[in-house]
């Protein structure tokens, strides 16, 4: 699996919401970070918001670098 670049997102959340997230992540054998990402992707899909795939972003970046 290819290594992907990541960025940090810091947020404050109600402790009970975090606990619910932790339980859900545990049930699906995911980390909290991965569970949040899955939830965001699902929500975006539900609302027809397209998230570009990481590989296409990297390919676009490589093409841009080669032009310079």
CB 32 within 8 A of CB 40: no
- Of 9, 19, 16, 14, the closest CA to residue 40 belongs to 9
- Inside any domain, residue 43: yes
- Inside any domain, residue 54: yes
User: CA gyration radius for the chain?
Assistant: 16
- Inside any domain, residue 17: no
- Inside any domain, residue 48: yes
For the chain, the average pLDDT equals: 84
pTM here is 0.69
- Inside any domain, residue 21: no
pLDDT band per the 50, 70, 90 thresholds, residue 17: very high
- Inside any domain, residue 49: yes
Count structural domains, the chain: 1
- Inside any domain, residue 44: yes
Percentage, residues of the chain above pLDDT 70: 72
Residue 4 has pLDDT above 80, yes or no: no
Whole domain around residue 40: which residue ranges? 26-67
Give the model confidence (pLDDT) of 40-65 as tens digits.
Answer: 999 999 999 888 875 565 565 566 55
């Amino acid at each position: 699996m290819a290594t992907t670049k990541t960025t940090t997102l810091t947020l404050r959340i109600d402790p009970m919401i975090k606990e619910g997230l932790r339980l859900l992540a545990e049930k699906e054998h995911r980390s909290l970070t991965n569970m949040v990402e899955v939830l965001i992707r699902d929500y975006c899909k539900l609302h027809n918001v397209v998230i570009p795939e990481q590989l296409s972003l990297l390919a676009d970046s490589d093409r841009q670098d080669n032009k310079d």
